[in-house]
Amino acid sequence: MANLNFDKKLYFITFLLGALGVVLGAFGAHWLAERLPAQQLGSYKTGILYHFIHVLASICVLNIVKNEPNKALRVSVVLFNVGILFFSGSIYLLATRDVIGLTYYKWLGPITPIGGLFFISGWINAAICSLKS
């Protein structure tokens, strides 16, 4: 029963991240497109792409867990969601830092690959779980 509540929370967080992706995508397409150089806008779009890929991956994994309970597989969803925050979140901030006034925050750069490691860890965890089931 406790896992069911945890799964509901994971679905909720994932769906909120999906909604956030739509908002940030629209913000990029409409407001930022006129204000960012092409390279920064390209980076921003990369953040959106990875954001949505991992929202969809999280939903897929949660649906697998729903049909075949697997505590270890839930870890992939957590890793994907944290990866979205770190990887995509840092890209959003880095791409827009001139527009939003974050030009002095150099520590944002190293957060992007940390988010990437969360994504990679989520995929490796899912692969290992698939071998065990």
pLDDT in tens, 23-33: 999 999 999 99
Q: pLDDT at residue 60 above 80?
A: yes
For the chain, count helices (H), then strands (E): 5, 0
Tell me which of 18-22, 30-34, 39-43, 97-101 is least confident: 97-101
Residue 3 has pLDDT above 80, yes or no: no
pTM for this predicted structure:
0.92
Mean pLDDT on 53-61? 97
pLDDT for residue 17 is more than 60: yes
| Radius of gyration of the chain measured on its C-alpha atoms | 16
Mean pLDDT taken over the chain: 93
Q: What's the pLDDT score for residue 51?
A: 98
Question: Is the predicted pLDDT of residue 1 greater than 60, yes or no?
Answer: no
> For 82, what's the count of Cα atoms within 13 Å in the CB-facing half-sphere?
17
The total of structural domains in the chain comes to 1
Long-range Cβ contacts of 39-48 (<8 Å, 24+ apart): 40/95, 40/96, 40/98, 41/95, 43/91, 43/94, 43/95, 44/91, 44/92, 44/95, 44/96, 46/91, 47/87, 47/88, 47/89, 47/91, 47/92, 47/95, 48/21, 48/24, 48/88
Count CB-CB contacts under 10 A for residue 104.
7
Q: Provide the residue range defining the domain that includes 34.
A: 2-132
Give the confidence band of 70 by pLDDT, cuts at 50, 70, 90. confident
Has residue 85 got a pLDDT over 90? yes
**6-40 burial: b if 16+ Cβ within 10 Å, else e:** ebeebbeebeebbebbeebbeebeeebeeebeeeb
Give the mean model confidence (pLDDT) for residues 9-22: 97
